[in-house]
Chain A
Amino acid sequence: MQYPDYYQVLGVARDAPARDIKKAFRRLARQYHPDISKEPDAEKRMKEINEAYAVLSDPEKRAAYDQLGQNYRPGQEFRPPPDWDAGFEFSSKGFSPEETTDFSDFFAELFGQMHSARRGGGGFHARGQDHLAKVFLDLEDAFTGAVREISLRAPKMDAAGRVHVETHTLSVKIPKGVREGQLIRLSGQGEPGIGGAPSGDLLLEVHFNPHPRFRVEGRNLHLDLPVAPWEAALGAIIPLDLPSGPLKLRIPAGAQHGRQLQVRGKGIPGDPPGDLILDIRIVVPPADTPRARELYETMARELAFDPRQRN
C-alpha cells in the first residue's frame, strides 16, 4: 500500500485553505467528469480526485492524513501505526459507501474503519448491502446467452477490525433475451450480512458493446441497409446475416432512400421478441468507366425524372 499525495492530486499547496481546495476540486470535477471528459483516463482520475477531496475537505480526515504523512513521501510504502486514529472523530458525509469502495486501499485502510466500528458492535444485525455492477455483453450474447466473469471489490473487515478491500470473481451464466439497461438480480450474492443476517443481492446492469452493424433500442435491432438504385427501383431479394441466423429480405419495388422496413420478431428474443428495423440507404455507383457514364447518360436522356419536382 502506497502513501498517496492528495495535495498533488488536487494541485494545491499543503497549507491551502478550504476554499482553495473546494475551488480546485470543482475545476477538476468539471475537467474529468466521466460523462463528458475527452481525457483517456477520466474515470480513474475522477476517482483519485474524489478520494483526495473526500479527505482534504473534511477537517478531521485532513488533520489525520497530515499527521500520518509527516514521515512519508508520496508513493512510499505505507503501514498505519497502531491507534493512529486516536483522538479523531471521522464523519462520512459527502461520498456514499458505494463511491468510497472505489477509493484506494490506503483510504479503505485508514478511513474504512469508521464504518466497521459502527457496524461491527456486539449484537448488531444488518442485512448486507446490495451491490450494483455493470456487465458488458456483445449483441450476439442476447441471442445465445453468455458466461461472463465479473470481478467485484467490496470492503471486508478482518479479525482485528481493519477494513480491506477484497476482490472476488463470479462466473455468471447470463440468459438469452437480456436487454440493454435491464437488471439481473442475483439473490444473496451482494455484501455479506452482519451478525447472521442475510447477504444483500448482486444486481448486474446489462449493457451491450457497440456493434459494427446493428443499433439496439429495447429489443429492436436497427440496421442501415445499403441498396443499389436498381434494387430499390425494381425490388430485390437481399440476403442478410443476422445474429439469429440468415434471412432473405424482400425489398419492395419503388423503395426510396430513408424508407423503413420492419421485420417482426427478428430482434432480440423475448416474449414478445423485438423487431428488425431496416433503414434503406440507396448507394449510387460511381460513373468511373465509359460504360457506367453511358448508362447514366442514357437514364438522363430517357427517364423524365427530376428529383426536385417530386411530390
Chain B
Amino acid sequence: MTNHDIDANDALMQDELTLEQLVAISRVESTWLISRIELGLFPHVARTAGAWRLPVSALHRIRRMRQIERDFEAVPELAALVADLLEELDTLRARLNMPRPR
C-alpha cells in the first residue's frame, strides 16, 4: 500500500464530459455510446462546435444501461427505460434524504 497527499484546490472541476472522456472513463466502445445518443437514449446532450457534451450523470446511465443490456440481453430502448426509472428513484430518494446505494 502506498500513500501520498494531493491538494485538489487547483484541480479541474467538471460538470460535463465530452464523448471521448465518457468513453475513456466508462471503457465502453465509442460506437456503443454514439449509437445510443443517436437513438435519443441519452437526455441532456449538448452539441457545440461539432462535439457532444453530456452531464457527469451520464456516467451512471452508461453503467446501468450496459449492465442491463448485458445481464438480461435487453435491447437498448428497454435498458434506457429501466435507467429512466432508476434515475427517478434516485431523485425521489434524494428528496426524502434517503441514503443512496454506494
| Interface set of A (CB-CB < 8 Å, partner B) | 25-26, 29, 34-36, 42-43, 94-98, 129-130, 132, 134, 136, 145, 166-175, 178-179, 181-187, 189, 200, 203-205, 207, 209-211, 215-217
Q: Is the CB of A26 within 8 A of B14?
A: no
Q: Is the CB of A129 within 8 A of B27?
A: yes
Residue with the highest number of chain A CB atoms closer than 10 Å, among B27, B66, B95: B27
Chain B binding surface, main DSSP class: mixed
| Contact digits for B1-41, partner A, Cβ 8 Å, 1 yes 0 no | 11111111101111101000100111110000000000000
Q: Is the CB of A205 within 8 A of B56?
A: yes
Given the known interface contacts A97-B27, A98-B26, A167-B1, the answer about A184 and B11 at a Cβ–Cβ threshold of 8 Å is yes
Q: How far is the CA of A187 from the CA of B86 in the complex (A)?
A: 32
Say which size band chain B's interface belongs to: 35 or more
Q: Is the CB of A183 within 8 A of B6?
A: no
Q: How far is the CA of A269 from the CA of B28 in the complex (A)?
A: 35
Q: Is the CB of B6 within 8 A of A186?
A: yes
* Set B14, B95, B100: member contacting A182, Cβ < 8 A: B14
Q: Which residue of A lies closest to B59 (CB)?
A: A132
Q: Is the CB of A204 within 8 A of B8?
A: yes
Q: Which residues of A contact B15 (CB under 8 A)?
A: 179, 181-183
Tell me the smallest distance from the CB of A9 to a CB of chain B, in Å.
15
* Set A179, A184, A203, A215: member contacting B97, Cβ < 8 A: A215
Q: Is the CB of B13 within 8 A of A186?
A: no
Q: Please provide the chain B residues from 57 to 102 with a CB less than 8 Å away from any CB of chain A in the complex.
A: 57, 59, 64, 66, 70-72, 86, 89, 94-95, 97-102
Given the known interface contacts A35-B89, A129-B24, A210-B99, the answer about A171 and B14 at a Cβ–Cβ threshold of 8 Å is no
Given the known interface contacts A35-B86, A183-B17, the answer about A26 and B72 at a Cβ–Cβ threshold of 8 Å is yes
Q: Which residues of B contact A211 (CB under 8 A)?
A: 97
